[in-house]
Structure 1
Amino acid sequence: MATLTVEQVEQISAKLKELPAVENKKRPVSKQEAIKLLARDIKSLQARGYSLEQVSEQLKQLGVSLATPTLRSYLKRAGSGAATRKKGSGAGSAATATEDQQQPAQPAA
């Protein structure tokens, strides 16, 4: 192969950046990637008062069986912040403190 110039590499780079994204919605994904894709939805559920335990149970019913600690870990890796946030929580961001706050997620009527 012939030697490339910086200018040629920059032109190639620009053309590669112009290529459209390839959508392959039928490709298999890991559970971790599925949670990354669902992180916004999970965060929304938490904002509506669902605990991670409740979310985990709902996911299990929908065919994604994950223990709550695994779900929390995947959410943290996804960088969503959904694993530590709770509606109306002004406390620190430690997962254990938030988890304790999420336990009584069902208000007394």
Structure 2
Amino acid sequence: MPVVKSFTQAQWDAASRRLDALPEKPAHEHRVNVRDAIKSMQAEISSAQRKGYTLEEIVQQLAEDGVEISASTLRYAMQRATKETRTKQVDMNTVPSTAPATRAKKERKERTSHAVNTLARKTQDGGKAVSQQGSMVIRDAFSFEITPDVENL
């Protein structure tokens, strides 16, 4: 069984003070993951593609500056960046409204009750009821009986 680690409040306070006292790291030393870097360079990469460069050629250019990634990694990161950009634009352009949501809920309830009523009226296998409201035995489309497991409650 794993042991839960606990520390004194004094240890946490000392660690907090140590982190607070750290000097600012120079911007050129900050680590940036591929997705964030590609997102910030998306315009430049798209511009290079419009100039006729392939992703493989762009990857070679990146490798000359020490950024060694594969063409598939670049392709995936570009797709993600494009998708995130589109999602942000859609989110900014949409105005939240409660009317469609309540209308959708009402329509869903009506469809559900209609489906239950229709299912209750359907018959199969010589007039046997497929489903009856309040019944514990239900028949699906393949006429297998579905009964709830009530033995192990």
Which structure features the higher share of strand residues? 2
Please tell me whether Structure 1 or Structure 2 has the larger radius of gyration of its CA atoms: 2
| TM-score after normalising by structure 1 | 0.48
| TM-score after normalising by structure 2 | 0.34
